[in-house]
C-alpha cells in the first residue's frame, strides 16, 4: 500500500489496514496479551512415563500414599460380622457390645456401629461383655404335640408360651425363673407341631450358631414310629442317597429299633425332613420324638416342662 493510500485511510505509518474478510485469530486482542501467571513445573515421578503425571489418573492413584492399619469407610469387613463368624457372639449382640464400647480391634476400642476392620484383625471383648454373656440363659423344653417351635400357626401355640415359672423343673441348685429370661429368647432349630421332644431356646447367639449355623455339625437324634412297607434297599437310601427339593441330603445314620420304630441321627434339619424321607421309601410317620441334640439329652423331662441348661452341660 502506498503512503498516499495510508493517509487517505487515516492509518499511521507502517500499519496495514484490517481486511474485513480475514478471520480473527483466536487468542488475539488485549485479553490474549494479558500477562498470565507462570505455571509451576511438576516433575514426573519415576516410572510415570512421558508427559505431565497430573494428566494420568492411574499415576495419581499409584503414587498416592496407602493408609496403614485397619481399613475404614467402605473397605474391610463389618466388625459385627467378623465377631459372629468367629463365634464370639451373634450379630445382634455384637452391635450392642460395640455401642457400649466393649469391643477392641487390634487393641483399639471400637464404639461406632458399622465399623469395619481387616478380615485378619484381632478382636477382643471387654470383661463387661463376658459378664453379659454369662447372664444369658439357654432353656431345654420338652415340647408337646400342638405347639410350634417358631412363628405361630393356625390352631397351634408358640412353644415359648410354655416358659413360665409353674412349668419349670427345678432342683436345689437351679436358678429361679425371671421374666427377663424371655427377652430375646428364640428357638435354636425347628420341631414340627405334630412332633414332640427336645427343643432348645436360647438368648445366646453362640449357642444358636453352634446348633443351627451354616457349618453346624451338631447331631440330632430322633425316635420315629412308622407304618407301611419299606421298599427294597430303603434303609440304605435313608442313610444316604435321597434328595429333597432337588438337593441331596447329607448322610444320616438310620436303624431299626423294633418292627415299627426307627432311630434317625441327622446332621441337618430340613423342613419335615424325616417325614418326607420316609415317604420316599414307602413309610408313613405316625410318631416322632427328638431325644438328643449334640451331647444334651431330653432324659426324663416331662412333656410341657422345661429346665435351664446347666453350667456343666455343653452341646
Confidence check: pLDDT of 214 > 90:
no
pLDDT tier for residue 46 given thresholds of 50, 70 and 90: very low
User: Selecting from 2.30.110.10, 2.60.40.10, 3.90.110.10, 3.30.2350.10, what CATH number does the domain 138-308 have?
Assistant: 3.30.2350.10
Q: What pLDDT is attached to residue 68?
A: 40
Domain with CATH 3.10.290.10 in the chain: 77-134
Residue 71 pLDDT: 46
Most confident of 50-59, 71-80, 125-134: 125-134
Q: Residue 227: what pLDDT?
A: 97
Percentage of the chain surpassing pLDDT 70?
76
Confidence of residue 121 (pLDDT cuts 50, 70, 90): very high
Region 77-134: CATH code: 3.10.290.10
Say yes or no to pLDDT of 165 above 80. Answer: yes
Please give the order of strands across the beta sheet that includes 108-110.
108-110, 103-105, 123-125
In terms of DSSP bridges, do strands 196-202 and 283-293 run parallel, antiparallel, or are they unpaired? parallel
pTM comes to 0.65
pLDDT of residue 305: 97
Q: How far apart are the first and last CA of the chain?
A: 111
Q: Please list the residue range(s) of the chain that carry CATH number 3.30.2350.10.
A: 138-308
Q: CB of 122 within 8 A of CB of 106?
A: yes
- What whole-number percentage of the chain has pLDDT above 90? 53
Q: 65: which 3 cell numbers? A: 500414599
Q: Is the pLDDT of residue 288 over 80?
A: yes
| Helix H or strand E segment including 262 | strand 261-266
- What band does 64 get if pLDDT is binned at 50, 70 and 90? very low
Catalytic annotation, residues: 192
- As a three-state string, the secondary structure of 243-264 is EECCEECCCCEEEEEECCEEEE
Amino acid at each position: 500500500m502506498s503512503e498516499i493510500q495510508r493517509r487517505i485511510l487515516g492509518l499511521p505509518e507502517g500499519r496495514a489496514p484490517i481486511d474485513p474478510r480475514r478471520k480473527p485469530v483466536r487468542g488475539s486482542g488485549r485479553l490474549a496479551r494479558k500477562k498470565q501467571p507462570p505455571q509451576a513445573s511438576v516433575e514426573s515421578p519415576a516410572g510415570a512415563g512421558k508427559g505431565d503425571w497430573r494428566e494420568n489418573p492411574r499415576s495419581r492413584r499409584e503414587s498416592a500414599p496407602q493408609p496403614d492399619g485397619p481399613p475404614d469407610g467402605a473397605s474391610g469387613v463389618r466388625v459385627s460380622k467378623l465377631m459372629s463368624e468367629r463365634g464370639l457372639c451373634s450379630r445382634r449382640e455384637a452391635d450392642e457390645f460395640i455401642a457400649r464400647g466393649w469391643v477392641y480391634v487390634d487393641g483399639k476400642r471400637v464404639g461406632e456401629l458399622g465399623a469395619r476392620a481387616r478380615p485378619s484383625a484381632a478382636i477382643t471383648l471387654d470383661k463387661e461383655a463376658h459378664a453379659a454373656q454369662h447372664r444369658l440363659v439357654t432353656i431345654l423344653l420338652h415340647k408337646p404335640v400342638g405347639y410350634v417351635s417358631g412363628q405361630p400357626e393356625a390352631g397351634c401355640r408358640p412353644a415359648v408360651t410354655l416358659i413360665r415359672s409353674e412349668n419349670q423343673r427345678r432342683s436345689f441348685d437351679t436358678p429361679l425363673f425371671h421374666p427377663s429370661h424371655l427377652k430375646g429368647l428364640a428357638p435354636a432349630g425347628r420341631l414340627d407341631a405334630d412332633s414332640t421332644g427336645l427343643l432348645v431356646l436360647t438368648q445366646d447367639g453362640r449357642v444358636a450358631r453352634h446348633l443351627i449355623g451354616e457349618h453346624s455339625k451338631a447331631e440330632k437324634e430322633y425316635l420315629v414310629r412308622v407304618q407301611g412297607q419299606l421298599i427294597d434297599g430303603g434303609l440304605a437310601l435313608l442313610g444316604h442317597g435321597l434328595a429333597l427339593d432337588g438337593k441331596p441330603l447329607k448322610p444320616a445314620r438310620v436303624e431299626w429299633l423294633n418292627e415299627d420304630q426307627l432311630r434317625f441321627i441327622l446332621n441337618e434339619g430340613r423342613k419335615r425332613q424325616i417325614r418326607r424321607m420316609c415317604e420316599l421309601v414307602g413309610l408313613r410317620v405316625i410318631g416322632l420324638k427328638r431325644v438328643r441334640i449334640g451331647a444334651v439329652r431330653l432324659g426324663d423331662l416331662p412333656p410341657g416342662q422345661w429346665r435351664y441348661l446347666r453350667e456343666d452341660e455343653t452341646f
